[in-house]
Structure 1
Amino acid sequence: MSLREQGLKSLKDGNLEEATAYFLKAIEEHPEDPIAYINLGDVFVMVGELERALPLFHKAIEIDEDTATAYYSVGTVYYKKEKYKEALEAYERALKKGLQSADLYFMLGMCMVQLDQPKLAVPYLQRAAELNPQDVEAHLQYGLVLGGLGYYDPAKKEMEIVLSLDPNQPDAYYNLGVVYYMNENDWDNAKKSFEKALEIKPDHALAAYGIKLIEKMSK
């Protein structure tokens, strides 16, 4: 088993200190291997040491500018630092370098959301959900963007998919209630959806407000 494989195994087992040691040793033995730097940088990202991670990803790019995963990792650092424009640029570079993954498309979409460009987020989140149809968060975020743009029917479909994957997702019930209320004028099902969200998450303020609004308008 190579040092990298041992490091990845330690990472999977949750032993970050041991994984770090393996990846450091891999860099010592193979200083021109960009993946070794990415692996170590990813550990630093996991423990929140973003400033230590970024130079490692840049080093990987310096060694091989076509290492797509290094750009993805750079994007992750910037996203966590809430530098969404820089994150978007890095993710786009990863895409141009050939990286094709549900996670990449999801993060591209989330950057667009954070930059208040929901229309541009749609195709990325749609693709993320297509590539990983079991990804609850991808379907949820895709549905949220669709609903926010007024595309209520497809938004409803996404929320129903979310609930088929995770029946205890309170935000999906809340947003399903919004669709019933806004698009279908179905106050009964809207209230039931809000109540279900509140049942799962008693401090869901938006669901509580939705119930109060319906009760007030029903008087």
Structure 2
Amino acid sequence: MTDNNAIGIQYLQEGKYEEALAAFSKEIEVNPDNAVAYVNFGNVLSAVGELEKAIKFYERALEKESEMGTAHYGLGNVYYQLEKWNEAKDQFEMAMKKGVSDSDTFFMLGMTLLQFDQPKLALPFFQRAVELKPEDAEARFQYGLCLADQGLIKEATAAFEQVVEADELHADAYYNLGVAYAFQENREKALENLDKALDIQADHMLASHAKKILTEN
């Protein structure tokens, strides 16, 4: 028996969106009550930017299976892309309630809370995302920014150090490291990291400005 869902997921991972849609369409045709197929179809539509259509498929999935956390996560992602922050927050929270508690969900809820200018509330979500997926440099970077915002400079410095260790071309992490070391009055380390940021991105305005301030004083 052909597993259209598995075939579709394989195509989706390979970026073959038309083939993925065809496979999920077949699955919906054969098993119209399979909520997973609707979520997968929505995921493909979301990946190609058909956001409004994606919403309909996630909602259909929830009609078939109201407890489907992955449908709520998919909706959260779409609403986030549409900059509908309240809806995104509600959907990510609902996804967690329905058991989708992986690092991506914590990360996206943290990112959504930042849109409300609430880094203090976002902090534990980024912390959990990093705990669940230590290699996620972007989650760790956002965690570092939230720590810095709370005045936890040493902890933020450690987080940024880990980011540049994982991603040597993360200009923003080097910039923030530079600022963190400047706060700790380590001028040499501050300049070293600001220079690295500028090496990676010559037009990094913030790094350029920070370096100017440090070299003029």
TM-score range, shorter chain: over 0.9
State the aligned residue count: 216
**SS in structure 2 at match of 1:162:** helix
CA deviation string 1:7-48 (max 9, x = no partner):
111112221111111111111111111100000010000000
* Residue matched to 1:41: 42
| Residue correspondence of structure 1 range 1-219 to structure 2 within 5 A | 1-182=2-183, 184-217=184-217
CA deviation string 1:124-181 (max 9, x = no partner):
0000000000001010010011112211011011001111111221111100111111
CA deviation string 1:100-121 (max 9, x = no partner):
1000000111111111111110
Distance 1:48 1:139 in 2: 27
**SS in structure 2 at match of 1:202:** coil
Contact in 2 for aligned 1:85/1:115 (Cα 8 Å): no
Distance 1:178 1:26 in 2: 53
What percentage of residue pairs aligned between the two structures are identical? 43
Question: Normalized against structure 2, the TM-score is what?
Answer: 0.97
**SS in structure 2 at match of 1:109:** helix
Q: Letter of the aligned partner of 1:102 in structure 2?
A: S
Q: Letter of the aligned partner of 1:33 in structure 2?
A: N
Distance 1:7 1:97 in 2: 24
Q: Letter of the aligned partner of 1:185 in structure 2?
A: E
Unaligned runs of 5+ in 1: none
What RMSD over aligned residues (CA atoms) do the two structures have, in Å?
Answer: 0.9
Q: Letter of the aligned partner of 2:210 in structure 1?
A: G
Question: Normalized against structure 1, the TM-score is what?
Answer: 0.96
Distance 1:197 1:93 in 2: 38
Q: Letter of the aligned partner of 1:57 in structure 2?
A: Y
Provide runs of 4+ in structure 1 moved above 2 Å.
none
Unaligned runs of 5+ in 2: none
